[in-house]
Structure 1
Amino acid sequence: MFGPAALLWTCCALAEGMTANFTLDNEIHAGFVARRLRSQERREMQREILAILGLSQRPRPSLYEKRTAAPMFMLDLYNSISTGGDAGPTQPPPPPPVPAQDSRYLRDADMVMSFVNVVEPNVDAFQSHRYHRDFRFDLSRIPEGEAVTAAEFRIYKDFVHERYENETFRVSIYQVLQVKRQREVDLFLLASRVVWAAEEGWLVFDITATSNLWVLHPSQNLGLQLVVENLNGKGVNPRSAGLVGGSGPQNKQPFMVAFFKATEVHLRGIRSASGHKQRNPNRSKNHKQENPNQEVLKMTEAAELLNVDQKQGCKKHELYVSFRDLGWQDWIIAPEGYAAYYCDGECAFPLNSYMNATNHAIVQTLVHFINPETVPKPCCAPTQLHGISVLYFDDSSNVILKKYRNMVVRACGCH
C-alpha cells in the first residue's frame, strides 16, 4: 500500500525519469502532461493513485446520477471544506451553508459516507403500508478501522396542501430489533419530532448508536421503521403528511449519512538510512590535514563557481493531476483534478533564504564542498504538505467523502 506522499514521488519520478515521454508546462494545464497518456502509462498512473486512495480497484457504480439527494448533500459538505486553490484551474462556486451540527461532525471526521435505501428503492412503500415505512441501508462497504462518530437519517417533508394542512404530526424513527411471523416486528424508539403540516425541508434524526451497533454486528442490521401519527396517537399515512417516498423527486429521496474517524493509524515502515560505515580509503592515520585557510579558500571558490540563481534553485513547480484524463469521471464526483505541485532545483552553496533550508542542510552543504565524495548535497523536497478531499461513488453507488493528507506541496526547501 502506498502512502499519500507516494503520488508526489511518482509525479516527480515521471517528471525527472521520463522526460522523453512527459512534458511539464510552467503553468497549470488540463492534465498531467501536454499530450495524452499512452495506455500503459495510464494504467500505471491509475494503479498508483488508487493505492493512495486506499482502493484495490476502481469502483464501478451501477448508478452514478449526481443530482440525487445524497450526492447533492455530500457535494455541499465537500464544497464547505475544499479550498479553491487546490481544486483545479477554475475556482469552485461559493460553498453553500452547511448546518452547524454537520460542520462540527465534518471537522472531526476523516471520512463521510452516504447510503441509499435498499428496501424496494423503486417502489413507494407509503402506498402499501398505511402508517409506516421500512428502510434498510447496506453498511458492508465501510472500510476496516473506521468507527462511526455520528450518523443521521434524513427524509424530506413537503408542504401539505390537502385536508391535513392545519394539523401537526409526530414522526418517529424505530430500530427493528426482531422480525416475527406475519410481519410483526419488535421495535426500539430512536428519535421522534413534532412537525407542522405546513413545514417544508429535511427532517434529520440521530441514529449514531444504532449505526455503530450495525457496523460491529452486521447480522443485527434489520433496518429502520418510520411511523407517523397525529398528536392523538392515530396513525397517519406518511405520504399524506408530506414525507417523500420512493416515487418522489430524485433530489428529495431519503438517505442515511455517517461520519467516520479512523481507529487505527497505519505507519509506513521507515527504511533505515544507517548502514555499515565505510572508512574513506584515502584517509589514514598519517593522512596530512589540509591547511584551514585552504579549506576556506576552496569554499569561497566553490561559492563563486556554483552559486545558483533563483531560477535554478530549489522551489515549487506546477503539476496538475487530472482525474478526468484518467477516465474516472464516472465515479469521482469532485474534484476533476487538483494542483499537486512538485519540488525541484539545486541546493548549492550558499543556500539563500528563498531555498528554505534547514540548519542541517546548511551544515551538510558546507561539508559537501570540503569532501564531496563522502557527503552528498542536500535534496530539494517538500517542507509543507496539505491535504485534499475527494468525493466519489463506491461499487454500491453510495457516496464517500474522504480526506487525504499530504497530497499537495505548499512549500519546498533543502533537506
Structure 2
Amino acid sequence: LFQLVMSCSGREPELVLLDMQSIPAGQEGWLAFDVTSAANHWLLRPRSNLGIRLYVETEEDRSLSAGWIGLVGRRGPRSKQPFMVTFFRESQVPCRPPRAVRPNQRRRKPKPDLPMPSIHSQYHMNNGAPCQRHELYVSFSDLGWKDWVLAPTGYLAYYCDGECFYPLGSCMNATNHALIQQVVHLLKPNEVPKACCAPTKLSPISVLFYDDNNNVILKKHRNMVVKSCGCL
C-alpha cells in the first residue's frame, strides 16, 4: 500500500510505502493496513492528499489486478468498501498548520509533545498470541462414554483461544460487530470488553452408539469440530 506524494518536478506523483502484507491464496475477510504516517501528513497539509494506491504482486514479483484476486472495488457492495479509522487528541494534533511567523518575531522552540499511541502502536503493544485454532483431542473413554459409544473412540475437536488485537486483520475472521466493538473498547476500555475469540465455522462427525433400547445407531452430530476461529 503506497501513499501518493507530489514529486519535485510536479509531474508524476511519487510512491511512498505505507504498509505491506503477505496474504495466502484463498483467504477471506478484511485487510487492515497502518496508514498513520499518511493521515498525519494529510492533516497538516490537506492539499497534499493525492490518495493511496494498492499494488498486488506474487512471490515471483508478478503484478496482479486487485479485482482479479477478489478484492472489492468501487463497484462492489457498499458494506465492503474500504474505510479508515482515525483517533485524534485535540491537545496534541493541530486542526490546521500554524500561521507563518513574521520576520521580526523570534521563533519559539515548540514544546515536545508526549507520544500519541497510534493504531500501529496499539497493535504491537499486545504480546499475547492472536486468536487461532488449537488442537484438542477428545477421548470418549476419558469422558466415561466408552460403554455406549462404539466408534470412534475419540476425535479431534479443536478449540479457539488467543487475543483479538486491533486492528482486526483478515486472518482473524472478524465480524463487523467485532470491528466496531474493538473501536469502542479503545475509547471505553472499562465499559466495553474486547471482542472474543470463538469458533466461526464448525463441522459434524458421525458417531456409532447404543440408544436407550440397546439399538445400534449411526448418527451425524452437528457442530462437533472447530474448523476456523475468529473474533466475535
TM-score by length of 2: 0.47
* Higher-RCO chain (CA-CA 8 Å, sequence separation at least 6): 1
**Structure with greater Cα Rg:** 1
TM-score by length of 1: 0.27
Bigger fraction of residues in helix = 1
